[in-house]
């Protein structure tokens, strides 16, 4: 079926948004078409504003308001020597939601996954290694998903870090294989953090 050009263009843009299942494409497009112009303009404005004002922290790569100190790296209430390594920001949020973690973070930006085009240089691994080399880190908690890519990334990090005096731990075992941190319930994640096992 042929759609008008402008609608086709919207559908193509929406198709590029990951996590938006293709079966929902038309529902989302329909939602926008039903809204009044003012509401759509507000949404576009919020998207632009967030792109301009929110940037990754230059130390931990968590999203932060531009030109303001990082709420994690700058906090004296947090243990700056305890660094939890996560794939993406939603994983960080999942750990924050447990309410039990007192350390700081490092957001890798994903895991090494050549099949999906994610290579070493796309991640913030070199900056994590720098943090360790500068002696800022006592313990790294590798909280990556227990997928083959997550395990391979952890193995790479352990290999790179074995010559430094840093303790490396991983989330407790027994988590369902392939589970993603973001979807883990609070109790399971709290326990996985508390019972973390030493990897090095």
| Residues contributing to the site for Zn ion (CB under 5 A) | 57, 59-60, 70, 72-73
The smaller minimum CB distance to Zn ion, of residues 70 and 95, is found at 70
The smaller minimum CB distance to Zn ion, of residues 59 and 98, is found at 59
* Dist. CA 26–CA 162, nearest whole Å: 51
Contact 84, 103 (CB under 8 A): yes
* Dist. CA 187–CA 23, nearest whole Å: 33
The smaller minimum CB distance to Zn ion, of residues 83 and 157, is found at 83
Contact 141, 84 (CB under 8 A): yes
Smallest separation, CB 60 to Zn ion (Å) = 3
Smallest separation, CB 120 to Zn ion (Å) = 21
Place of tokens 């070199």: 126
Smallest separation, CB 161 to Zn ion (Å) = 20
Closest residue by Cα to residue 183 from 64, 94, 62, 82: 94
Smallest separation, CB 106 to Zn ion (Å) = 9
The smaller minimum CB distance to Zn ion, of residues 11 and 129, is found at 129
């Amino acid at each position: 079926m042929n759609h008008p050009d402008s609608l086709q263009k919207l559908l193509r843009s929406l198709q590029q948004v990951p996590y938006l299942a293709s079966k929902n494409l038309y529902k989302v497009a329909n939602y926008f078409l039903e809204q009044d112009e003012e509401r759509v303009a507000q949404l576009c404005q919020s998207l632009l504003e967030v792109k301009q004002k929110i940037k990754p922290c230059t130390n931990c790569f968590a999203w932060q308001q531009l030109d303001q100190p990082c709420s994690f790296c700058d906090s004296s209430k947090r243990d700056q020597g305890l660094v939890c390594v996560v794939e993406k920001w939603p994983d960080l949020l999942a750990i924050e939601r447990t309410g039990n973690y007192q350390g700081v973070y490092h957001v890798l930006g994903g895991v090494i996954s050549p099949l999906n085009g994610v290579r070493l240089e796309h991640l913030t691994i070199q900056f994590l290694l720098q943090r360790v080399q500068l002696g800022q880190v006592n313990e790294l908690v590798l909280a990556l998903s227990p997928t083959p890519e997550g395990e391979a990334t952890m193995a790479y990090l352990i290999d790179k870090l074995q010559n430094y005096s840093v303790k490396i731990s991983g989330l407790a075992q027994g988590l369902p294989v392939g589970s993603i941190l973001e979807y883990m319930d609070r109790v399971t994640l709290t326990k996985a953090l508390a019972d973390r096992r030493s990897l090095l």
